[in-house]
């Protein structure tokens, strides 16, 4: 694959002032979201909901790329019937696709997970490229718990992430590499720091040994946070400092950007943490966002499945997109929330 186009796409995905919308909820996850607003999760309703997000006026000012689910990649706008990848491309937004088949039980472990989906991936990638996708996503899940994560789980997931990434680059697609350490639990921010460090060492060791071009990928990691059930929650400043410090120790400067996942944080906290990181000025990469729930939650609630709510729901979505855009420059302030 042409080196320059992979690098150009990766840089475009993590440009200052913009971030990536994760709209790749699987059908079961989408059902959960829709259940929360009492809307039936039909293919048409999912199409309508994604259409509402992608046609929000001015979305291209804050969003550089959208991660789609297989079903959504094949759907079209409600007005005009334009395939979503074409609609996004016309706006200058890169269409992407989630390609993993989900996290399953890792053999011979208590409750650890391995992400599946490598079988047949090369052929699927060819099809996705032809359908208009220009980047991909694969999520690995690492759990913190009693005697977890094991070195076995970390290395198995790092190996799979690198195999996925090399296949994508071979097909001209930029891989988003997503090793997510779940923040559920009572662990402290120091434990989170240590395990994020170990995981990232494993991931980059595998990426380099499998010939993945670091300039042509995007990292989508967790932030270094206190476990959600930890009695002592770290401040926004401490989260920012420890996260940046962790990445300075583990992520090569060749990587063009880091697009953080929100991972269950509230919309406001996900924005505040990103903003505080971007006020630390010694990072070699662009620090941006690849949020799902933290961009969509207010819009989903506002919409509630009713056509007459579409404009107010789009406003709610654009507000979060704008705040996170400001946070990528360190220009957000908490007063804006009111």
**Annotated catalytic residue: which of 178, 180, 206, 213?**
178
Q: How far apart are CA 133 and CA 66, in angstroms?
A: 10
Query: How many residues would you count in the chain?
Result: 338
List CB contacts of 270: < 8 A, sequence separation 6 or more: 260, 262, 289, 291, 294, 324
Q: Is 18 a catalytic residue?
A: no
Q: How far apart are CA 291 and CA 280, in angstroms?
A: 21
Q: Is 220 a catalytic residue?
A: yes
- Find residue 105's DSSP bridge partners: 113
Nearest alpha carbon to residue 71 among 27, 10, 118, 33 = 27
Nearest alpha carbon to residue 129 among 95, 162, 102, 163 = 95
The SS3 assignment for 142 reads: strand
Check if the beta carbon of residue 301 is closer than 8 Å to that of residue 39. no
Tokens, residue 235: 């401040």
**Annotated catalytic residue: which of 18, 98, 113, 220?**
220
Q: Is the peptide bond before 68 cis (omega within 30 degrees of 0)?
A: no
Q: How far apart are CA 73 and CA 95, in angstroms?
A: 8
Nearest alpha carbon to residue 99 among 80, 116, 75, 74 = 116
Residues with catalytic function: 178, 220
């Amino acid at each position: 694959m042409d080196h320059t186009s992979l690098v150009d796409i990766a840089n475009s995905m993590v440009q200052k002032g913009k971030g990536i919308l994760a709209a790749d909820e699987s059908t079961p996850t989408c059902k959960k979201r829709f259940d929360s607003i009492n809307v039936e999760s039909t293919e048409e309703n999912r199409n309508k909901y994604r259409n509402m997000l992608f046609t929000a006026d001015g979305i291209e000012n804050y969003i550089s790329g959208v991660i789609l689910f297989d079903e959504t990649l094949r759907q079209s706008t409600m007005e005009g019937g334009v395939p979503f990848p074409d609609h996004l491309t016309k706006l200058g937004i890169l269409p992407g696709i989630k390609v993993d088949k989900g996290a399953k039980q890792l053999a011979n472990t208590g409750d650890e997970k391995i992400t599946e989906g490598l079988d047949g991936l090369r052929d699927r990638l060819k099809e996705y490229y032809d359908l208009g996708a220009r980047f991909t996503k694969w999520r690995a899940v690492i759990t913190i718990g009693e005697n977890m994560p094991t070195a076995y789980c970390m290395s198995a997931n790092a190996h799979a992430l690198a195999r996925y990434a090399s296949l994508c680059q071979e097909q001209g697609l930029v891989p988003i590499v997503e090793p997510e350490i779940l923040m559920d639990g009572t662990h402290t921010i120091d434990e989170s720091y240590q395990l994020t460090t170990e995981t990232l060492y494993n991931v980059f060791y595998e990426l380099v040994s499998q010939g993945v071009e670091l300039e042509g990928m995007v990292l989508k990691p967790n932030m270094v946070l206190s476990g959600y059930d930890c009695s002592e929650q770290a401040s926004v400043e401490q989260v920012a400092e420890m996260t940046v410090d962790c990445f300075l120790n583990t992520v090569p400067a060749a990587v063009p950007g880091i697009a953080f996942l929100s991972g269950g944080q509230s919309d406001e906290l996900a924005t505040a943490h990103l903003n505080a990181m971007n006020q630390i000025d010694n990072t070699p990469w662009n620090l941006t966002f690849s949020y799902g729930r933290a961009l969509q939650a207010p819009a989903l609630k506002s919409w509630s499945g009713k056509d007459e709510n579409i404009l107010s729901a789009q406003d709610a979505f654009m507000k979060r997109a704008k705040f996170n855009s400001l946070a990528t420059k360190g220009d957000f302030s908490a007063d804006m929330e009111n």
